[in-house]
Amino acid sequence: MKKYSTIIAFLSILFLWGCESENNNTSEASKVQVIQTFNKERHAFGDTHQQAVEKVFDFQVEPAEVSSISMFIKLDCPEGGCNAWDVFANVRIWDEDAESWYEMGRYITPYGVDNNMLKDGFKIDVTDFKPLLTGEVRLKSFVEVWGNDGWLVSIDFKIEKGEPDYKYYALAEIIDFADHSLAGVPYGEDHDFCLEKQITMPDNTRETDFRTIITGWGHATPIDDDQRPCAEWCFRTHTILIDDAPFFFHDMKPLGCASNPVQPQNGNWAPDRAGWCPGMEVPVRTNSFEDPLAGETIRFSYEFEDWTNDFQSSADNQHAYYAISSYVVVKSDSPIESPLIQKK
């Protein structure tokens, strides 16, 4: 009898452990929320297709309870195959107060293939945009494709609930010249793009970050000593100046395109570009201040490394461009307003 009692007790422990384990898994799962937005939306050019698709989605999310948000972008080929080229693409969110589209993330399509080598697709951290990712959310997906084949784009958001670094975020656009690849700032020539701003932080700011995305385009000359034209191929260092002093640096160096898991592709995907690769998400460059600058006003300037276009390129377009967006993100333990941005 004692033997059977021991067995029953042992089985009871296993049962209780299993229930506890199941409850823990359920608890962990309840901390993750996945919101599906665009679902195999065709992006193409011609035959009634559009490069951009815009829709409104319902985000039942309380930003103060969110620790992180990741955006996943999946590309599938339409019937007949994907477009042959590596092209600029991004995802934007509408800020009702600012009446402006903010660039959350950017990626470059692969040459003529999908990105199913990646289980969930391209991954981009979009936690900075959590004050906008609540309620009715207006999103715009754009692919700069010039063909009626294109891609089928699906975008999901993975919301991690938990203790955030700060409960309240706010952000504002500093500069944004990234509607498409050639909408960027001309490099090595005179232009009228405003790259200087004045930024005033809210009084209750506890952390201040800059969030910047950059891609270079064009095959302008003179070429570098290693035979690389600008701005797609030439490696440069960009500088953010604060109050006219160099403060943050963006090294447009190789990313290791040949190691891209989205391979093989049907084109020249392996050589390194300046800060981006075909078939890969574009890096988000985050710069954090040691001093949050609460209540202070600073002068912001974005500068490119010296180089002068001689317009001797044999390409159809002799210009070089940097498609760039940069935002200031402020954080606090109390409700916070967006920073004030003014021309310098």
Among 3-17, 26-40, 246-260, the range of highest mean pLDDT: 246-260
Q: Which of 277, 236, 237 is nearest to 255 (CA)?
A: 277
- For the stretch 17-31, pLDDT in tens is 454 444 333 345 569
Tens-digit pLDDT profile for residues 111-133? 999 999 999 999 999 999 999 99
One domain, residues 160 and 262: no
In a domain, residue 14? The reply is: no
In this structure, the answer to whether residues 99 and 195 fall within a common structural domain is no
Tell me the sheet residues that pair with 100. Answer: 95
**At which residue do the structure tokens 């909408």 appear?**
183
Q: What's the distance, CA 78 to chain centroid?
A: 24
Q: Is residue 113 part of a domain?
A: yes
User: What global pTM score does this model have?
Assistant: 0.91
Domain that holds residue 141: 31-164
- The alpha-helical segments, DSSP class H, found in 78-204 are none
Instruction: Tell me whether residue 8 is in a domain.
Output: no
Domain count within the chain: 2
Q: Which residue has the tokens 């470059």?
A: 108
43 and 143 in a common domain? yes
User: Last residue of some domain: 144, 164, 184?
Assistant: 164
Tell me if residue 144 is catalytic: yes
| Same domain flag for 86 and 143 | yes
Instruction: Read off the CATH number of the domain in which 270 is found.
Output: 2.60.120.230
Q: What is the pLDDT of residue 16?
A: 45
247 pLDDT higher than 90: yes
Tell me, yes or no, whether 156 and 171 share the same domain: no
**pLDDT range class, residue 47, cuts 50, 70, 90:** confident
Catalytic residue among 86, 149, 176, 179: 86
Task: Evaluate whether residue 18 is within a structural domain.
Answer: no
Do 177 and 153 belong to one domain? no
According to DSSP, the residues that pair with 217 across neighbouring strands are 321
How much of the chain exceeds pLDDT 70, in percent? 91
Rounded mean pLDDT of 88-102?
97
Label residue 344 by pLDDT band (50, 70, 90): confident
Residues 135 and 184 in one domain: no
Q: What does the pLDDT look like over 150-200, one tens digit per residue?
A: 999 999 999 999 999 999 999 999 999 999 999 999 999 999 999 999 999
User: Measured between alpha carbons, how far apart are the two ends of the chain, in Å?
Assistant: 88
Calpha distance 131→216 (Å, rounded)? 30
Residues 151 and 269 in one domain: no
Is there a single domain that holds both residue 214 and residue 150? no
Same domain, 192 and 295: yes
255 and 132 within one domain:
no
143 belongs to a structural domain: yes
Q: Is residue 109 part of a domain?
A: yes
Q: Which of 107, 138, 164 is the last residue of a domain?
A: 164
Q: Which of 95, 103, 232, 281 is catalytic?
A: 232
Classified as helix, coil or strand, 10 is helix
Token pair of 219, please? 């095959």
Question: Given 95, 103, 114, 144, which residue is catalytic?
Answer: 144
The answer to whether position 340 is within a domain reads yes
- Residue 13 falls inside a structural domain: no
The answer to whether residues 65 and 135 belong to one domain is: yes
Boundary of a domain, candidates 114, 132, 164: 164
Asked if pLDDT for residue 340 goes beyond 60, the answer is yes
Residue 77 has pLDDT above 50, yes or no: yes
Q: What is the pLDDT of residue 15?
A: 45
232 catalytic? Reply is yes
